[in-house]
Amino acid sequence: MKSKLLAAAALAVIATAGLAYAKPDANQLAAVADKGRPDADSKRDADRKPAEMLEFAGVKSGQTVVDMIPGGGYFTRIFSKAVGPKGTVYAVGGPPRPVTDPAKPPPAPAQDTIAADPAYSNVKSVHVPLLGGIAIPTKADLVWTAQNYHDMNNIPNIDMLKFDKAVFDALKPGGVFIVLDHVAATGTPLDPTDKFHRIDPAIVKKQVEAAGFKFEGESKVLANPADDHTKPVFDPSIRGHTDQFIYKFRKPK
């Protein structure tokens, strides 16, 4: 009986801590190897480890994925190839920048450019006020946000419980919410001026679980013990190599 209990305990540890170490499958590796990706993106792969991220998130062909606040679209293109023609990627960002000078209009958001590219025809660009919900016409298998959650906490008048519940409602039962962000030291309060662009992972876990999610595991693949968490993430000595956490939450079935 004791050995069975020990075995069960070991499996429980694997279920939470060991999710990070399975190998990416051929489809996930092929998505990263896509020749249509910009060279600037591909050059960042060694630091960002996207294939391992796809494996940890469980991205598969045919899924519906939300890339929340996609920025330059680094993960958007990868998700597009990973879910394939039978899947859909919703690149969900805030409203486009207003045109203040018609002679010098701002560049189109990357998510719009990617969605207009025939090579990524399964990508749909969605612009919504980030204080509200996630306006997609179907339920998603995965909502993903990378290096953005700390920013969400610093939007004036943001209700993070409402935001996380919107993510919860956008997912299918059993769907996954992945939060990847820069680590702040344990016990560090929220940074309203966004000086450091970091967040204590414990804050993320508490907020997301309050919305009804179950914490499923953590990947350490982007951990960096050499980062002492005292510098802004854009400091040249640490930029691109910050200590990052990747949390996996699941909507109960």
- pLDDT of 153 reads 87
With pLDDT > 70 as the criterion, what percentage of the chain qualifies?
A: 91
Instruction: Give pTM, 2 decimals.
Output: 0.88
What is the Cα–Cα distance from 47 to 209, expressed in whole angstroms? 29
CB 112 within 8 A of CB 90: no
- Answer yes or no: is pLDDT of 95 > 90: no
pLDDT value for 15: 42
What Cα–Cα distance (Å) separates residue 12 from each residue in 5, 9, 123, 245?
Answer: 11, 5, 36, 20
pLDDT at 21: 59
Above 90 in pLDDT, residue 246? Answer: yes
Residue 22, pLDDT > 90, answer no
Which residue shows structure tokens 């598969």?
60
The alpha carbon of 201 is separated from its chain's Cα centroid by a whole number of angstroms, namely: 14
Nearest to 144 by CA among 224, 63, 211, 85: 63
Tell me what pLDDT residue 17 has.
Answer: 45
171-182 and 140-146 strand pairing:
parallel
Q: Give the model's pLDDT for residue 132.
A: 66
Reported confidence tier of residue 247, pLDDT bands at 50, 70, 90 = very high
Mean pLDDT of all residues in the chain? 89
Pairing of strands 64-68, 88-93: parallel
What would the pLDDT profile of 110-165 be if each residue is shown by its tens digit? 999 999 999 999 999 999 887 767 889 999 999 999 999 998 888 888 899 999 99
Q: What average pLDDT does the segment 238-244 reach?
A: 94
Domains, the chain, in order of start with CATH, read 2-250 (3.40.50.150)
pLDDT at 193: 80
Predicted local confidence at residue 102, as pLDDT: 78
Report the distance separating Cα 177 and Cα 253, nearest Å: 14
pLDDT (0 to 100) of residue 1: 45
The neighbouring-strand residues paired with 16 are none
Q: What is the structure's pLDDT at 34?
A: 95
pLDDT at res. 223: 95
Is 105's pLDDT higher than 80?
Answer: no
Using only the alpha carbons of the chain, give its radius of gyration: 18
Distance of CA 85 to the CA centre of its chain: 22
Task: Return the structure tokens found at 2.
Answer: 């004791």
Q: Report the 10 Å Cβ neighbour count for 10.
A: 11
pLDDT per residue over 31-83, tens digit each? 999 999 999 999 999 999 999 999 999 999 999 999 999 999 999 999 999 99
> Average pLDDT in the 173-185 region?
97
Averaged pLDDT, 13-29? 65
Find the mean pLDDT for residues 93-105. 77
Confidence bin at 106 (pLDDT 50/70/90): confident
